[in-house]
Structure 1
Amino acid sequence: MHSKARNPLRPLLGFGFLVQGFRCFPWMAVNFFLKDGLRVAPSTLQLLQTSANLPMVGKPFYGVVSDAVYIRGEHRIPYIAIGVLLQAMSWLFIALLPQSSISIFTFSVLLLLGNLGASIAEVANDALVAEAGRQPTSTTSTKRTSSGELQSFAWMLGSVGGAIGNLLGGIAINQFSPKTMFLVFGLLLITQLFLTVAIRESSLDLPKSSSKSSIQKQLSELSVTLRKPEISYSIAWFALSYAIIPILTGTMFFYQTQYLKLDSSILGLSKVFGQAAMIIWSASYNKWLKSVPPRKLISALQATIAVFMVSDALFVKQVYRNFGVSDTVYVVFFSGLLEVLFLFKVLPFSVLMAQLCPPGCEGSLMAFLMSAIALAAIVSGYLGVALASFLGASAQDFSKLPNGILIQAACTIVPLYWSSWIPDYIKASKKVD
């Protein structure tokens, strides 16, 4: 009992997901740095932000490597440290380089480096969650739910980090330069790096692996796992449910800041409300919704997203003003909730995948899932740029934005027609070794 109290697993994961959630702090500054510092157009802003996520697509490779390649006898802690180091280098370079030396190309390369580090660290953290969720316990029922509880813990800490980051970001952007915010986050990452390397993986009390796999063997096991229909069809549906929706985040950001002239603190509060909703969702899922069939829960969330998108179209048409709802109130509450509704689906789906995942392939499968989501988000972002261009939406003309949002809503409904690809039960929960 005493040794368990000293297990640094939860503090390690908690701080890791807290910092991961806090990444929204510098990324809020990125939006304003691109808009006001580099003077980019809405479509260019969205294009740069979307392209910066390309390293996330490589997550399966990072997962396979972390599963198979041990560094000084460890295969999770070193990869977290490497990922944190790359992020720190990225943000500190951006913060310390002279303004005249930062071109769109330089900025994009450094953002790619930062997201490469973030993706490596996220893979290692996600693998730790999946791996620790298989820790043997005294009863099979406890064993079945431990993964979901650790997932909820990680999500809640990530949401807390996001809430703090968005709140402080909305305030700081009016008080400090974006480069100062980049510097603050870089120093936080240096702190995380020192705390991470001080922990030995043997102290985490993880389940013992029967043997170390080669990369070739790990790829083979991942291939076998992905050929399981309940896994492959589920991931295909999940990825398509994102990719098919043309996101208009760049245009909406300009609409809120240029046209409505909302203060950055309002945007920060909107994101804080969204993160608070994420915390409530994580706790609610863990307490009441884990027994709900995955297909039913995820489909309901998909339909809810479409409803909120229709509401966004009414907002841009200024319908809510006629009912006395101010732009500020709508953006804080409704826009903040819509933004995180896209993420609500990830929690029940990642728990489903962790329970369907065969032992020894946790890092690879969870990384493949996150990679599929990242690729889908990139496709969605590029489709959004194309849609905005087709509609003629720009920083000066938002008249066609409601039409674009309604197209989004229609595309969101389409995946419900093949929701049967998701299991309506959790197969892994029926038989636990």
Structure 2
Amino acid sequence: MSVSGEDLPLIDPGAGAGKGDTLITDIRDDTSSSKTNVIRKKNYFTNSIKCFGVELSPDNIAVAMVYFVQGVLGLSRLAVNFYLKDDLHLDPAETAVISGFSALPWLVKPLYGFISDSVPLFGYRRRSYLVLSGLLGALSWSLMATFVDSKYSAAFCIMLGSLSVAFSDVVVDSMVVERARGESQSMSGSLQSLCWGSSAFGGIVSSYFSGSLVDSYGVRFVFGLTTFLPLVTSAVAVLVREQPVVSLGRGHMQNLPLVTTSFVESSKRSIIQLWGAVKQPNVLLPTLFIFLWQATPQSDSAMFYFTTNKLGFTPEFLGRVKLVTSVASLMGVGLYNGFLKKVPLRKIFLATTLSGSALGMTQVFLVTGLNRKFGISDEWFAIGDSLILTVLGQASFMPVLVLAARLCPEGMEATLFATLMSISNGGSVLGGLIGAGLTQIFGVTKDRFDNLTFLIVLCNLSSLLPLPLLGLLPKDEPDASDAKEGDDIEMKTQSERQPDR
């Protein structure tokens, strides 16, 4: 969860914004001064309201709202965890498997780009797919609030909701790139700051209410409330300025096979071009490292069961912990931008991996009760531990985005970046499944935690396994352009890009 502004599918340069932004089209050279005056008048009004240095035009409002929805959808994550644990009575291993299964839509993000670019829906490549994504998300959560009563139907609906977010994410990221083309580096960074800030604000809002709502009204109520959030994505689609695709005429239904053939051919060419870029050693080897770095096992599901069933943490308290981690993610990005963006990638991965593995061992204190011997309550220890680990985790994931951006060759940045982030997400899913297997092997269940300490130690030590492969990363020192690039990389919290395990 994974989960950035440059994480984009292949974009049709002839579609989307840019067409609708031109005020005057067929004007002779001798009327250029009049055109300039018209543009200045327009800018006078649009510049009056800005956020993060970005004009709040209808297009930009739509983009910001879609990102906000992606962040605020975190409202349901805590409810999902308690639903799987308390209502369906699943073990930690089963919960981890369902979480991994729900992340599958994030592994094929370039496919959504191919579809939206090549197959206009009702004459639009962006608007219509945003509407469809919102309706799909509303359907998934309405089913969770009413009919779902088994682990299989729950897994399907959660995956359907994940597909809704992943598809809208690709579409809105495409719009961001289209609007950033031709803009200055500063303006591009401001636009992405607006996007990321909207998502972060949504995450903080949802974290504040998620626990108390589950505690007061139950998980079904939270699922029903979540049903209305994706509809915001459908509603703001009307604000998107997009030129409709010219119809194929009255016989367009007869020409549907031509559209399908064009989609298949363009996808085939894109895949061939993509493979040609990925198989280059300077791209393939760092990508392999990213995958292996993300694929180390996790014990998150087991710890959730321990803190709720053994320590008695309530949904309201866990909501507060989630709020702290949401703010901590902002601190993690600030840590990277302020101190680490000029540090070579190899050193960052080495330092964050070693420190992360060591600090991850502090969970053993909570499991064994050692923290209470030092006069630290379980609640305060959990908050402090989550705060530190989230800051470090967020700062350590930023180099993944920077590295992925640096690997992309000119001409196919969007598609290759989306592919690299899908590979990263794939490693994260694999790590979750391996963690589920280890949880089963160690016999950790919803009420048995005898071997949880060994599981935590093994998972943390396994995070050190990719370190001998640091030589796969580029060793050149980051220059000034790389530092600027680090500023412009949008980092969404993993609760949005990589579903929580």
TM-score range, shorter chain: 0.7 to 0.9
Matched, 1:36 2:73: no
Given candidates 108, 111, 135, the residue that maps to 2:158 is 111
Partners of 1:389 and 1:185 in 2: CA distance: 32
The residue number in structure 1 matching 2:29 is: none
The residue number in structure 2 matching 1:182 is: 223
After TM superposition, the structure 1 = structure 2 runs for residues 32-431 of structure 1, keeping only pairs within 5 Å, are: 32-71=82-121, 75-97=125-147, 102-137=149-184, 143=185, 150-201=191-242, 214-243=266-295, 245-339=296-390, 341-424=392-475, 425-426=477-478, 429=481
Partners of 2:151 and 2:304 in 1: CA distance: 19
Q: State how many pairs are aligned.
A: 413
Q: 1:230 to 1:272 in 2, by over 3 A?
A: farther
* Greater fraction of residues in helix: 1
Check conservation: 1:148, 1:286, Cα contact below 8 A. Answer: no
Moved more, 81-90 or 225-234: 225-234
Partners of 2:336 and 2:58 in 1: CA distance: 25
After superposition, give the CA deviation of every residue in 1:322-350 in whole Å (9 maximum; x if it has no partner). 11111101212212442564444333322
Q: 1:157 to 1:337 in 2, by over 3 A?
A: farther
Moved more, 48-57 or 285-294: 285-294
Check conservation: 1:307, 1:409, Cα contact below 8 A. Answer: yes
Partners of 2:110 and 2:287 in 1: CA distance: 13
Check conservation: 1:235, 1:369, Cα contact below 8 A. Answer: yes
Q: 1:413 to 1:394 in 2, by over 3 A?
A: same
- For 2:382, give the aligned amino acid: V
Q: 1:189 to 1:120 in 2, by over 3 A?
A: same
How far does residue 8 in structure 1 lie from its aligned partner after superposition? 4.1
Q: 1:249 to 1:313 in 2, by over 3 A?
A: same
Q: 1:46 to 1:114 in 2, by over 3 A?
A: same
Helix, strand or coil: the match of 2:312?
Answer: coil
Moved more, 7-16 or 388-397: 7-16
Q: 1:135 to 1:72 in 2, by over 3 A?
A: farther
How far does residue 280 in structure 1 lie from its aligned partner after superposition? 2.2
Partners of 1:152 and 1:235 in 2: CA distance: 26
How far does residue 359 in structure 1 lie from its aligned partner after superposition? 4.9
- For 2:293, give the aligned amino acid: S
After superposition, give the CA deviation of every residue in 1:213-246 in whole Å (9 maximum; x if it has no partner). 9222222332233234333322221121111x21
Q: 1:363 to 1:46 in 2, by over 3 A?
A: same
The residue number in structure 2 matching 1:140 is: none
Check conservation: 2:332, 2:391, Cα contact below 8 A. Answer: no
Q: 1:325 to 1:114 in 2, by over 3 A?
A: same
Check conservation: 1:25, 1:181, Cα contact below 8 A. Answer: yes
- For 1:331, give the aligned amino acid: A
RMSD of Structure 2 on Structure 1 (CA)? 2.9
Partners of 1:68 and 1:428 in 2: CA distance: 37
The residue number in structure 1 matching 2:61 is: 11
How far does residue 113 in structure 1 lie from its aligned partner after superposition? 1.0
Helix, strand or coil: the match of 2:466?
Answer: helix
Check conservation: 1:59, 1:368, Cα contact below 8 A. Answer: yes
The residue number in structure 2 matching 1:209 is: none
Helix, strand or coil: the match of 2:228?
Answer: helix
Check conservation: 2:134, 2:232, Cα contact below 8 A. Answer: no
Structure 1: which 4+ aligned runs deviate by more than 6 Å? none
Partners of 2:340 and 2:174 in 1: CA distance: 23
Check conservation: 1:69, 1:214, Cα contact below 8 A. Answer: no
Moved more, 183-192 or 215-224: 215-224
How far does residue 151 in structure 1 lie from its aligned partner after superposition? 4.5
**Which ranges in structure 2 are unaligned for 5 or more consecutive residues?**
1-42, 48-54, 245-262, 485-501
Q: 1:224 to 1:134 in 2, by over 3 A?
A: farther
Q: 1:250 to 1:153 in 2, by over 3 A?
A: same
- For 2:396, give the aligned amino acid: K
After superposition, give the CA deviation of every residue in 1:42-88 in whole Å (9 maximum; x if it has no partner). 22222222212122222232233345445567544444433232112
Partners of 1:356 and 1:133 in 2: CA distance: 20
Partners of 2:210 and 2:413 in 1: CA distance: 34
How far does residue 273 in structure 1 lie from its aligned partner after superposition? 1.1
How far does residue 91 in structure 1 lie from its aligned partner after superposition? 0.7
How far does residue 152 in structure 1 lie from its aligned partner after superposition? 4.8
- State the structure with more CA Rg: 2
Partners of 1:22 and 1:336 in 2: CA distance: 20
Moved more, 363-372 or 270-279: 363-372
Partners of 2:180 and 2:337 in 1: CA distance: 14
Q: 1:412 to 1:289 in 2, by over 3 A?
A: same
Partners of 2:156 and 2:356 in 1: CA distance: 33
